[in-house]
Chains A and B, each alone.
Chain A
């Protein structure tokens, strides 16, 4: 297991926090903002005194200024439950010569995210989909959960057509109450992504934070020489082509993902493209810092 992750990945991610964009309705004591107010460390607002309020919370300085009684309210923090959904379909087995496969890259990214979320007290689970949708690990915070997640990620093998929408639905079922779903995959759906977008929209409607990280290699965007090519998820058909010499190939690929991104944004989901050419920790750090601003 120690050889599974790139050296230094977890150390470089160390101090980052993957804060929830919205309010997290998890257990008390996490790092995310809770919709609940009351006891907590973060001052939220003043409220008029009502009979039964704890007198220790009366803001006497404000009384001195206003001759009216106000109590201080503090924001509570909460942890959340998260599910990492990793695409293990056949297309994720693609790798450029000398480089990692997309599945391996996505697994490394998933491991990095799991590390961050577990460190923040979140419960993290894992779903993988390829031939079938499989719950590899239910969301937990217990000691050893990270090791279990790593073991499951390391065992993943690419195969099958993959159904991202079904996987997202399963993730929503696993969470029971609103949490966080992170999908890592190449988003190459047979229906052009319609089902995926619909599933993401449903998760958002439930109140789940939905994050989609697209993983792709440079060759899939046009940096490949002439040859006979086939789709790994539909290997029967072979096409002679020269991607580097096809002037519209990259534009068509980018247009597809732009459509996916736009659809996700319209549904309130977050989208970030990752390239296998970039080291995992750099990609995650860049994305996490970018989402803060």
Chain B
């Protein structure tokens, strides 16, 4: 069965092939007047002018039409998909730290997909975390899966780009088969995503990637027994009436003990962290600054910034509709929290950048003060749909970590891959089973579309030579 990776190019080639035909019809040769001394004996025949207007030089016309048809066929990327010869299975098994709760179902799924009566040459197994390893076909046995299961996942993070890059070599390893299907067994987390992954995905595998439905897992965070304080940390949210509920809920979700106080009341209870959502009196702000000097972290949202003598930065310069739809706070190393409104670029001159807007401008800056930290946020923390994001708690905790040394926050790595990223990874709209001839660098015989391009080159040379000869003859 012939399949086309880009069938629209076939239509484009057919339409384009009609253009030379039309041009040959339209570009009539100027009717050449020829002398004939015995004209008086000739009967006029108006049909003679019609014959003159027919497409001239049919061979040249055919060559031009054929060239355009071949180009369209070549760009359509045809390939032969043999029927009834079986389809090989390529499995990408995620062995990263995020597979702790999904390891057993993943290994079982891989065993089901790969151990089949037709023999190891019709399957390939790639095990990956930050690097991908192609398991030799002869080693993929029941015993191998047993040992894999007992060994458990690794401690390294996932890198989906590494897994995708391993697909073409895995396809090369398949013998006596012309088509294949690829399956990714992973709990699919943000941790494995990297910039440029979409391009790697497109280049590595022209077909769709099956994504297994495995339970997301939390990464086991090694807890140091030497860490001192195990009592819940205390935070105070300073907000007008009705405000602060989202921040409090987010903090409580991650183990903080939270109080909400209106801006006018004196801040009497010492806390480890303060989140100021509303403007407050100057005196109260000064007292919070003293708390920061003593070691607290004070998070100042955009609405409260003037209370602390901080000038508001430039507002977002994109269109009003873009501003209304909300932007994303992108924390270095994750998470990315969408839904922020009234985005302001804060000055990063005196602090450490914690998060940026999507356009790269500083959104959150941590400014050391005394033994504590001031964290300036360039948006209203409870504005837009920011507090509704699943990553909001993680974002709040990043803000409260403030001026602490940058450390990976395992909880952020546990963020599931968003739906859009899953779509990219899956390759929506592509066939699951593809001809291996379409996979890059499979070292098989030259793909069909390249032969078509060679034929097109030959036709182009013929057409050029013929047109040159015609021009010389005229």
Contact = CB atoms under 8 A, between A and B. Distances in A.
Interface string A57-79: 00000000000000000000000
Residue of B36, B37, B43, B47 most packed against chain A (CB within 10 A): B37
A256 B34 CA distance: 22
A188 B42 contact: no
Nearest to B38: A220
A242 interface: yes
Contacts of B51: 226, 242
Leading 4 A-B pairs by shortest Cβ distance: A91-B37, A226-B48, A252-B41, A240-B48
Contacts of B36: 94, 219-220, 224, 229-231, 243
29 contacts: A91-B37, A94-B36, A188-B37, A188-B38, A188-B40, A221-B38, A224-B36, A226-B45, A227-B34, A227-B52, A228-B31, A228-B34, A229-B34, A229-B42, A230-B33, A230-B35, A231-B39, A233-B37, A239-B42, A239-B44, A240-B49, A241-B45, A241-B48, A243-B36, A245-B45, A246-B45, A248-B43, A249-B41, A253-B41
Given A229-B42, A248-B43, A242 B48 contact: yes
A231 B37 contact: yes
Given A241-B43, A248-B43, A249-B42, A94 B48 contact: no
Interface in A230-261: 230-233, 235, 238-243, 245-246, 248-249, 252-253, 256
Contacts of A256: 41
Interface in B34-81: 34-49, 51-52
B349 interface: no
Interface string A176-216: 00000000001010000000000000000000000000001
Interface residues of B, number: 21
A238 B37 contact: no
Tell me what chain A mostly uses at the interface: helix, strand, loop, or mixed: mixed
Contacts of B38: 188, 216, 220-221, 249, 253
Give the interface centre of A102, A220, A224 by most chain B CB atoms within 10 Å: A220
A246 B44 CA distance: 9
Contacts of A94: 35-37
B32 interface: yes
Interface string A81-104: 000000000010110000000100
B43 A227 contact: no
Contacts of A226: 45, 47-48, 51-52
Nearest to B46: A240
Interface of A: 91, 93-94, 102, 186, 188, 216, 219-221, 224, 226-233, 235, 238-243, 245-246, 248-249, 252-253, 256
Contacts of A233: 37
B199 to A, nearest CB: 60
Given A221-B38, A253-B38, A238 B33 contact: yes
A91 B32 CA distance: 18
Contacts of A245: 45
Contacts of B44: 239-241
A146 B34 CA distance: 36
Nearest to A227: B34
A264 to B, nearest CB: 19
A93 B35 CA distance: 10
A232 B42 CA distance: 14
Given A227-B48, A228-B48, A240-B48, A246 B42 contact: yes
Contacts of B46: 240
A232 B38 CA distance: 10
A76 B47 CA distance: 65
Given A239-B39, A253-B38, A229 B45 contact: no
Nearest to A240: B48
Q: For A102, A221, A242, which residue has the most chain B Cβ atoms within 10 angstroms?
A: A242
A245 B46 CA distance: 12
